[in-house]
């Protein structure tokens, strides 16, 4: 993922996450902070992307998104496989994430990878007041 992808990512964020979408500025801050972002490209078009923050013994999946036109083609799984492999290679012992409690498709993806719920963050998504399930997968 490079800085020149940020405008397209922000548009995808808005289409997928609505009022909870990260702005281009927030995405820029993610890259500037050294977080790892990966994209699946179809020519110049971003089919999907995911971002991860790595710590000493853990990784946090910050976001994962697949353009509606590219869903059900294995792109989310491709991104998850890459994130988990990079977490293992970096010495992480666990991977964490937060997901909206009403996002069933994402939760099913995470369940397939062995993530388990460890808690709930009330009103985590500020614009909608939606709770977030906190999930963890041990490597």
* Helix ranges restricted to H, 1-139: 6-17, 24-32, 75-89, 104-112
Tokens of 1: 């993922």
Q: Residue 37 in contact with residue 50, Cβ under 8 Å? A: yes
Q: Is 72 helix (H, G, I), strand (E, B) or coil?
A: coil
Distance separating alpha carbons of residues 12 and 66, to the nearest angstrom: 8
Residues classed as catalytic: 98, 110
Local structure of residue 108 (DSSP, 8 states): H
Distance separating alpha carbons of residues 38 and 29, to the nearest angstrom: 15
Write down the number of H helices and E strands in the chain: 4, 6
């Amino acid at each position: 993922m490079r800085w020149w992808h940020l405008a397209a990512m922000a548009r995808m964020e808005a289409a997928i996450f609505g009022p909870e979408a990260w702005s281009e500025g927030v995405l820029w801050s993610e890259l500037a902070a050294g977080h790892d972002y990966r994209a699946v490209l179809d020519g110049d078009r971003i089919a999907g992307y995911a971002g991860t923050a790595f710590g000493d013994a853990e990784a946090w999946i910050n976001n994962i998104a697949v353009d509606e036109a590219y869903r059900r083609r294995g792109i989310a799984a491709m991104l998850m496989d890459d994130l988990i492999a990079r977490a293992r290679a970096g010495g992480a012992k666990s991977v964490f994430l937060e997901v909206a409690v009403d996002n069933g498709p994402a939760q099913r993806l995470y369940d397939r990878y062995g993530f388990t719920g460890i808690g709930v963050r009330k009103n985590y998504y500020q614009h909608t007041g939606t709770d977030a399930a906190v999930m963890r997968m041990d490597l």
